[in-house]
């Protein structure tokens, strides 16, 4: 069965600090997809990134970077030089190959960036 665990319920840092959000997943499939979404106070989930299970290359997009390690079933998300606008709830999600896509979400990590 699929499962996503975000062990950090809440994180609070001061602006300009780097922060890493952890995500650990479980799946029996060899083909699967991992996602990160951001949910600001407005409520709408915003798609950040998708990785497939065959692509373990790390990715960097501006201040955001993602570290995918199949050996530890982890897909961690790092924000460098955090800003107040990064404050949100961040969700990691997993979907498996086949059929209509079902996203299984982690519990979410509430990130607060203090000025």
Partner 1 sequence: ETGVTQTPRHLVMGMTNKKSLKCEQHLGHNAMYWYKQSAKKPLELMFVYSLEERVENNSVPSRFSPECPNSSHLFLHLHTLQPEDSALYLCASSQGGAGGEQFFGPGTRLTVL
Burial class (CB in 10 A: 0-12, 13-18, 19+), 104: middle
52, 58, 72, 114: residue in contact with partner 1 (rule CB under 8 A): 52
Least distance to partner 1, CB of residue 84, Å: 22
State how far the Cα of 86 lies from the Cα of 90, in Å rounded to an integer: 10
Q: Which helix (H) or strand (E) holds 110?
A: strand 109-114
Compute the CA torsion angle 8, 12, 14, 18 (nearest 10 deg).
10
- Considering only CA atoms, give the Rg of the chain: 14
Q: Among 43, 57, 61, 62, indicate the residue that binds partner 1 (CB under 8 A).
A: 43
The answer to whether residue 9 forms part of the interface with partner 1 (CB under 8 A) is no
Q: Does 100 bind partner 1 (CB under 8 A)?
A: yes
Q: How far is the CB of 115 from partner 1 (least distance, A)?
A: 26
Binding flag, residue 114, partner 1 (CB under 8 A): no
Near partner 1 by CB under 8 A, which window of 10-18, 57-65, 72-80, 104-112? Answer: 104-112
β-strand partners of 51 = 34
Interface residue list for partner 1 (CB under 8 A): 31, 33, 35, 37, 42-47, 50, 52, 91, 95-108
């Amino acid at each position: 069965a699929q499962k996503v665990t975000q062990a950090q319920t809440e994180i609070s840092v001061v602006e300009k600090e780097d922060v890493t959000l952890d995500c650990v997943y479980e799946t029996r499939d060899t083909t699967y997809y991992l996602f990160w979404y951001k949910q600001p106070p407005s409520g709408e989930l915003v798609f950040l990134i998708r990785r497939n299970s065959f692509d373990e290359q790390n990715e960097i997009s501006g201040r955001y970077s993602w570290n995918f390690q199949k050996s530890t079933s982890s897909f961690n998300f790092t924000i460098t030089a955090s800003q107040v606008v990064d404050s949100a709830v961040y969700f990691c999600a997993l979907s498996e190959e086949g059929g209509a896509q079902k996203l299984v979400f982690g519990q979410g990590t509430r990130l607060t960036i203090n000025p």
